[in-house]
Chains A and B, each alone.
Chain A
Amino acid sequence: MFSLSVVKQFSRLAISSSSTIGINSRNIFTAAALQFRITDQLWAEPLKKKKKMDPAIIKAREDRRRKKLEKQIRRLEKNARQLKPIDEVEAPLHLIDQMGKRKRTPVQLSPEEVEARALLQKDWARYKREEYMANVAQIDRIMAAQRRALDMLYEESEELYDEAIMPDLQLIPYTISGPVATPPIKNYDSPDGEYVDVSKKWDN
């Protein structure tokens, strides 16, 4: 029944009346029929005659396409090797030009001075070594103190020990601002200059 109702709906557009489909119905329409004409369905295209091409031309065309692609690839590779310039690392040209002007007259050190400097360097190396050894010993001492405390805690209560060896996630991220050369001045109003961002944009 469904199909019938659909057919009724479109019967106004139909080329032939629905009765020809074989459904027996008696519908009367008062509206004028629309005069649409539809050509016959072919379901296929007439065959075209194949054009014969010169194989030399085809080959030339192929070659041209390949060359074009290769050229593009080469250009891309070349660009890939080109790195972003770092202005701070490259010496400015005007400084390179003034190199002769900016050179200091080389200092002539007396043999005593050279000797004194060498001795001081050696002293410094020894001093740094002692300092390093002292630091390592200090860290060992502090770690041993902690180890002892943890061992004692384990003896006392295993639960507390388990809690104690849990990582402290509050410490991440950790920032610390170290000691400074002169103490900060309280309520100091820093005379900030104007800030102009001159860094270049490198996005593509």
Chain B
Amino acid sequence: MIIKGLLRTELKFCLRYLRRGLSTKSPWDIVTGVCVERLPVVTPPLNDIQKKYKELLWTMEVEKSLKSDHEIRQENDKIQAELLKNESHDVDLDAVSKITAQDFEDAAGEELAQFKFASIETEADKKGDKTTSDRCLQRHLVLVTPVKLGNDIKTILPQGQWKDGETLRQTAERVLKEHCGPNLKVQFLSNAPCGFYKYKYPAELQSDGKVGAKVFFYYANYKSGVVESKDRTKCNWLTRNELTEILPTKYNKSVQEFLIQETF
């Protein structure tokens, strides 16, 4: 059984090499790009019509509802207070001296006022720090890193060459680790690439019969961890608009092609 299995893999390898030897080599380099996106943490703000409709639904909800225990209690308190004022009946003093519904409401309101909700604007937002994913909580953020292309360094999505023997998905995982360190935890959403971009090398850099690169983008969601890199200040988490500003026009178009568009 084992020998059979070994033979089969051997045969597969031989066939693969034979095929590769026969086929003419592609003039394109295969490159994998990784699009790491931090999904919004906080829901986007409501627009005018959403606000109006929410208001309407709320009022209709109240109109149709029955009175709650608290409201009944409040009414009872009112009746008791009136009775106490008139002193026409013998009032049950025990019932009156209790904490009234209004007191309860005030206490609850006070507690709510004391509670501090976290601000939507984070520290990074105030400082304009783009290197952390803890910014613009209502928006989608995409990670860009400095990538060496030929002789110059460009700030684009992390990308790297595909190596023989690995699948594109494995390339994507390796590339991300190389660019951002092992601490960045992400969730890749598919084995298939979600986007494509093709570019030609400048004439003086073309060698080995390679004319350019085909970039296959892989999409991943950010889970936890921080980016570790030599050039940390250039590893940025950018919103859609910031992406448009910083990326080359054609490249940006290919990237935005597979990203969800924000409506606010």
Residues of A within 8 A of B (CB): 95, 98-99, 101-104, 107, 117, 120-121, 123-124, 127, 134, 138, 141-142, 145-146, 148-150, 152-153, 156-157, 159-160, 163-168, 170-171, 179-186
Query: Is the Cβ of A138 less than 8 Å from the Cβ of B42?
Result: no
Query: Is the Cβ of B30 less than 8 Å from the Cβ of A163?
Result: no
Query: Is the Cβ of A145 less than 8 Å from the Cβ of B257?
Result: yes
- Whether B56 is near chain A, meaning CB under 8 Å from some CB there, is yes
Whole-angstrom distance between the Cβ of A120 and the nearest chain B Cβ: 6
Query: Is the Cβ of A165 less than 8 Å from the Cβ of B192?
Result: yes
Query: Is the Cβ of B40 less than 8 Å from the Cβ of A179?
Result: yes
Contact of B42 among A103, A149, A164, A183 (CB under 8 A): A183
When chains A and B are docked, how far (Å) is the Cα of A179 from the Cα of B118?
Answer: 14
- Whether B149 is near chain A, meaning CB under 8 Å from some CB there, is no
Size of the B side of the interface (Cβ < 8 Å), in residues, is: 50
When chains A and B are docked, how far (Å) is the Cα of A148 from the Cα of B196?
Answer: 7
Name 5 interchain pairs, CB-CB below 8 A, sorted by A.
A123-B49, A145-B257, A149-B192, A166-B191, A185-B117
- Whether B194 is near chain A, meaning CB under 8 Å from some CB there, is yes
When chains A and B are docked, how far (Å) is the Cα of A184 from the Cα of B39?
Answer: 15
Query: Is the Cβ of A149 less than 8 Å from the Cβ of B167?
Result: no
When chains A and B are docked, how far (Å) is the Cα of A103 from the Cα of B194?
Answer: 56
Given A124-B53, A145-B257, A153-B168, do A165 and B42 touch, yes or no (CB 8 Å)?
no
A184: chain B residues at CB < 8 Å are 41, 118
Whole-angstrom distance between the Cβ of A143 and the nearest chain B Cβ: 9
When chains A and B are docked, how far (Å) is the Cα of A142 from the Cα of B261?
Answer: 10
Q: Mark B37-77, 1 if CB is under 8 A from A, else 0.
A: 00111111000010011001000000101110000100000
Whole-angstrom distance between the Cβ of A100 and the nearest chain B Cβ: 10
A99: chain B residues at CB < 8 Å are 66
When chains A and B are docked, how far (Å) is the Cα of A183 from the Cα of B214?
Answer: 39
Query: Is the Cβ of A104 less than 8 Å from the Cβ of B191?
Result: no
Chain B's interface: helix, strand, loop or mixed, by majority? Answer: loop
Residues of B within 8 A of A (CB): 16, 26, 28, 30, 39-44, 49, 52-53, 56, 63, 65-67, 72, 116-120, 122, 137-138, 162, 167-169, 188-196, 198, 214, 216-217, 257-261, 263
B116: chain A residues at CB < 8 Å are 185
Closest 7 CB pairs of A and B: A149-B196, A163-B167, A145-B258, A102-B66, A149-B193, A145-B257, A102-B67
When chains A and B are docked, how far (Å) is the Cα of A138 from the Cα of B196?
Answer: 17
Query: Is the Cβ of B168 less than 8 Å from the Cβ of A163?
Result: yes
When chains A and B are docked, how far (Å) is the Cα of A159 from the Cα of B168?
Answer: 10
Chain A's interface: helix, strand, loop or mixed, by majority? Answer: helix
A148: chain B residues at CB < 8 Å are 196
Contact of A104 among B43, B63, B263 (CB under 8 A): B63
Query: Is the Cβ of B193 less than 8 Å from the Cβ of A150?
Result: yes
B263: chain A residues at CB < 8 Å are 134
Whole-angstrom distance between the Cβ of A192 and the nearest chain B Cβ: 16
Residue from A120, A152, A165, A166 having most chain B Cβ neighbours under 10 A: A152
Contact of A179 among B39, B53, B198, B258 (CB under 8 A): B39
A157: chain B residues at CB < 8 Å are 26, 30
B169: chain A residues at CB < 8 Å are 163-164, 168
A179: chain B residues at CB < 8 Å are 39-44, 138
A185: chain B residues at CB < 8 Å are 116-118
Query: Is the Cβ of A164 less than 8 Å from the Cβ of B194?
Result: no
Given A124-B49, A160-B167, do A149 and B30 touch, yes or no (CB 8 Å)?
no
A124: chain B residues at CB < 8 Å are 49, 53
Contact of B53 among A120, A163, A166 (CB under 8 A): A120
Whole-angstrom distance between the Cβ of B5 and the nearest chain A Cβ: 20
When chains A and B are docked, how far (Å) is the Cα of A160 from the Cα of B116?
Answer: 52
Query: Is the Cβ of A104 less than 8 Å from the Cβ of B65?
Result: yes
Query: Is the Cβ of A168 less than 8 Å from the Cβ of B191?
Result: yes
Q: For residue B193, which residue of chain A has the nearest CB?
A: A149
Whole-angstrom distance between the Cβ of A190 and the nearest chain B Cβ: 12
Query: Is the Cβ of A142 less than 8 Å from the Cβ of B63?
Result: no
When chains A and B are docked, how far (Å) is the Cα of A179 from the Cα of B257?
Answer: 23
Given A124-B53, A156-B28, do A164 and B191 touch, yes or no (CB 8 Å)?
yes
Contact of B72 among A101, A164, A183 (CB under 8 A): A101
When chains A and B are docked, how far (Å) is the Cα of A168 from the Cα of B218?
Answer: 13
Whole-angstrom distance between the Cβ of B221 and the nearest chain A Cβ: 8
